[in-house]
Amino acid sequence: MTPGPTNVSTEVMQAMLHPIINHRGPAFAAAMDSLLIKAKNTFQTKGDVVVLTSSGTGAVEASITNLLRDGDSVLVTAFGEFGERLADQIQDVGATAIRVESEYGNTPTLDNVREAFEQNEELKALYVVSNETSTGASIKWLKEAGDLASKAGAFFVVDAISNFGGDWMPVDEYKIDICCAGSQKCLASPPGVSMLSISEKAKQFIVNNPPKRHYLNLPRYFKYAEKNETPFTPALPLYFALDRSLEIILDEGLDRVIERHAICANAFYSGLSEMGLKMFAKTEVRSNTVIAINYPEGVNDKEFRAKLDADYGVILAGGFGRYLGKLFRIGSMGVVGRYHVIATLTAIGMTLKKMGFEANVDGALSLSSSILSKLSRSA
């Protein structure tokens, strides 16, 4: 139950056993066509989708190195580890990253972004981390930010690695020019491939201003996409797995998948609060996919997580950087339903009790169960 890589179903794992085929032949082109149709339906876009053989970091880097140049100014939301990384990456191509900040555990407001647009001219883009894996806080005003960026003539780029497929993200409707997603988070596929949705406007810019990069060179991907190929040898087994996982998501229904994520997150937050725990992120900005919890006084991080694993087989993540040892994080993503929530809550509560924290486990489980009853029977 870490915030990625998440659990992968046997069905998706076995999709990797598809025979290795020639990536320059008709069988691959057919497979790629099928994968891209599903990917576009998941992004809810009429634009392009590019699948990279890389982790999510590669996709985010591609969104920067293909769009930004020396001298550009961009706004970037910074309210956690991944926002800071994003700002650093932007600076490294010679662009100026103007941070729209908030304290960790919160997010900047839409007003903060509006003011930043008013105070800065000729902004090339607005970069937003939609869900901070390090703090469990997420942006609730993506649609409105798309309107602001569009009015200012700026590109709108969303790093949605840890909540794409878990939160509503219709990229065309939200005017998102580039949206970055990873395979191993809410999409419940093995790690190693990532996706970018790219609007027609962003595509035109990128094609007319090709970057001096090779592996993450989007114009090449566009060129090869015309014949349903990739410019470099793709990670075939992971493409087949991603195809299967997107098929499963679209079969369940994207809206129902997202509702399932929201219900599970709500069950986690309610149960954990009932136990007497305090969440790291403010209530209004709580993530639907990453739950960050402050450790109660006296509970040691390493000891707690080792016991959880040893006694219950539940693996959670610790805190990042300055929050190492101060909080723990649950990935409530992908293959997640009543079984996972209840098992995880039980393990957390019982372990805290063993470590001397008087958690109200019964109350937590009964509250969470009633919330989880809103899930469809199969989830």
- Contacting residues toward its own copies, per CB under 8 A: 2, 4-8, 13-14, 16-17, 20-25, 53-58, 61, 85, 89, 92-93, 182, 184, 190-193, 212-216, 232-238, 241, 315, 317
Residue 276 CB, shortest distance to its own copies, in Å, is: 27
Distance of CA 356 to the CA centre of its chain: 35
Two tokens at 224? 């090869």
Residue 335 CB, shortest distance to its own copies, in Å, is: 10
Q: Which helix (H) or strand (E) holds 340?
A: helix 338-354
- Cα–Cα distance, 232 to 220 (Å, whole number): 9
Q: Identify the CA nearest to 128 among candidates 102, 151, 92, 153.
A: 102
Neighbours of 302 (CB within 10 A): 9
Residue 107 CB, shortest distance to its own copies, in Å, is: 23
Neighbours of 191 (CB within 10 A): 16
Interior angle at CA 185, CA 81 and CA 125, nearest 5: 50
Q: With respect to its own copies, which residue has the nearer C-beta, 182 or 349?
A: 182
- Cα–Cα distance, 56 to 270 (Å, whole number): 30
Q: With respect to its own copies, which residue has the nearer C-beta, 19 or 356?
A: 19
Residue 7 CB, shortest distance to its own copies, in Å, is: 7
Judged on CB neighbours under 10 Å (0-12, 13-18, 19+), 68 is buried
Residue 266 CB, shortest distance to its own copies, in Å, is: 25
Q: With respect to its own copies, which residue has the nearer C-beta, 78 or 241?
A: 241
Residue 314 CB, shortest distance to its own copies, in Å, is: 11
| Under 8 Å between Cβ of 202 and 218 | no
Q: With respect to its own copies, which residue has the nearer C-beta, 237 or 276?
A: 237
Q: With respect to its own copies, which residue has the nearer C-beta, 174 or 320?
A: 320
Residues 6+ apart with CB under 8 A from 241: 8, 12, 13, 15, 16, 183, 189, 190
Q: Identify the CA nearest to 186 among candidates 175, 195, 198.
A: 195
Residue 20 CB, shortest distance to its own copies, in Å, is: 5
Q: With respect to its own copies, which residue has the nearer C-beta, 75 or 316?
A: 316
Residue 374 CB, shortest distance to its own copies, in Å, is: 28
Q: With respect to its own copies, which residue has the nearer C-beta, 216 or 291?
A: 216
Q: With respect to its own copies, which residue has the nearer C-beta, 215 or 339?
A: 215
Interior angle at CA 137, CA 69 and CA 331, nearest 5: 105
Q: With respect to its own copies, which residue has the nearer C-beta, 103 or 303?
A: 303
Residue 94 CB, shortest distance to its own copies, in Å, is: 9
- Cα–Cα distance, 304 to 326 (Å, whole number): 12
Two tokens at 338? 């009543």
Q: With respect to its own copies, which residue has the nearer C-beta, 8 or 348?
A: 8
Q: Which helix (H) or strand (E) holds 158?
A: strand 155-159
Residue 336 CB, shortest distance to its own copies, in Å, is: 14
The residue written with tokens 């007003």 in the block is: 111
- Cα–Cα distance, 34 to 353 (Å, whole number): 50
- Cα–Cα distance, 19 to 16 (Å, whole number): 8
